[in-house]
Structure 1
Amino acid sequence: MQVQTLNYPFRNDLQLPAKQVLAAGFFDGLHLGHQNLIKTAVRLARIQKIPVAVLTFDRHPALVYQPESVDSNYQYLTPLNRKLELLEQLGVDTVYIAEFNPIFAHLEPKDFVEQFLMKLHLKALVAGFDWTFGPKTLANMDLLRQLVHRRFEIYEIPSLNFGQRKISSTHIRASLKTGQMAEANLFLGYNYQNEGLVVHGYQMGRQLGFPTANLSMSNEQFIPRIGVYVSRVKVGQTWWPAMTSIGRNITFKRGDNPLTIEANLLDFDQDLYGKTLQIEWLDYLRDEVKFADASALIAQLHQDQENTELYFRK
């Protein structure tokens, strides 16, 4: 899969196929609804024997068009590297990452079509019913059809629902915030994942008999709610069952404790310092609790381990 960064205005040496199918959207989370859209684009391209590409952006469009409605420190369900990994699995040939420079961000809808989309040699564009290419009150799919005027085909994909609920990044975030991992993973179509670098911590886990890998994660990643989880951790090419805590070590308070992510890999005894690991969140076990002393915490950790082992046996 090729990855190209698009800077507006385009360079004259931009390499493009004669015709291609384009799936457009930000696709944070790449959930089942997004996958349905992209798979539609892949099928169209394969039928016509032309390449299929995805157009996404270097930051969430809301940060540009609705900055008052989102935190400037926006956290993503799928940071760019994770998004690219998932797109490659879906069979995409090329990913275009459009940079929201000031000129591009303030393009009028007509100019976006004429000076951007038309330059990509489109045979067809596939997008969700709610895709916008500017202020959402104006630059919607109805206006897109008018501006394109049949110069390429437009396929509008409706929302994908589970029961009465729309599968959306918003609902997935809400599930992750409340520890509803089964629902979040169901809507995603895969197990939610974060990535972190193993760093040195206070080594409290080792002193308690439950050594942990302390994971330092980038601020752009969306982290599930505080608590203890059944998880899997990828070391090299192997996934290891683990119980993982997201919390502030409130039993051993040292002033204002920072948030830590500590994974105890079951039946594992290797040095992980300095390694980058992927962690999948499978099930929420319990909230973080302040215990009276270390012995009470150890007893609970044994129970957490038993519940984690039971999860994997099932």
Structure 2
Amino acid sequence: MQELTYADLESQGIDTSMIAACKKLRRLARLDRLRLDEEEHRSGLNRHLFAYIEYCGMDVLSFVKQYLSNLQPYMIERRKEQEKVDTFLCVIDNLYRVSVYIKADYRQFEEAVISFHEDNIRGVAKVNQIMKAKSQAYVPVFADSVLNKVSEENKYVVKAFFQRGMKILPLELAAMKCKDVFVVEKRGIDLQFISYCNDYIRDLYTSDLELDFEKIDVFTMLQQISFTSYGRDTFSSISLLIDSLCIQPDALSRGAADFALVTFVQHLKLTEEQAQEMGHLLEEKFRVTSIRGIDLILDRVERSLEIAVRNGSD
């Protein structure tokens, strides 16, 4: 059996350009000398995801290490123009509504410093170019283990971990081996995360809110879903409902999605302090956004939080 090369993959239209960068980031995640860049940038927007991560009950550095450990080559795009010195490695994780920017500054035997935030220019999220591109059918991934191999053929079943936001999925996938990576079908991975979010939205509508789920369009691609929408906590649920509102194609479905968002928030059981914390987190999160009219949406959410507090005190 002849071993595949990266050139073989490229000849089949499979992008291998991010394998080395991804391997470097995954390796950095295992270092004890990794630390976060916590110096506030002039825009003040380089730490805006930290409060959300802490709200979800995780130490930020531990989360970032975990995230980098589960990063896969097909998720990222290199930002070489921002690598001002040889020790910089800059990538964006494109598979969100707003891409996540990751910069590593690493020097041998010194601390490696990681920046981790949503990609933006002064709070305005940059257009996610991957949404305009045709998705690859097959992609290279790093596997955690080989579960099965067909004798004398390049056919494997591998187990690999994939992460979007707070959600980690361990998946078993049919694969071909090429040097240090395995080639797998991408759409099946995406559908696992898309279904995860659609199923949760359906549960919110039909179980918690008793609303008609058939009135809204569902998610069809990862770039419709925010980094902060993959949890099962209250904030992540609000974030997901806002994402759902933003993909609706007409006034009828937007009205249904808006009603679901407002109803969900109004039925929360919150103290005044919890409502204030939620409002602060939402304000911090949506300092970086590509959503038109987000101020109006957040204003309705804030007023609904006030109603939730009053209802809780009755």
TM-score (norm: length of structure 2): 0.29
Instruction: Answer 1 or 2: which has greater helix percent.
Output: 2
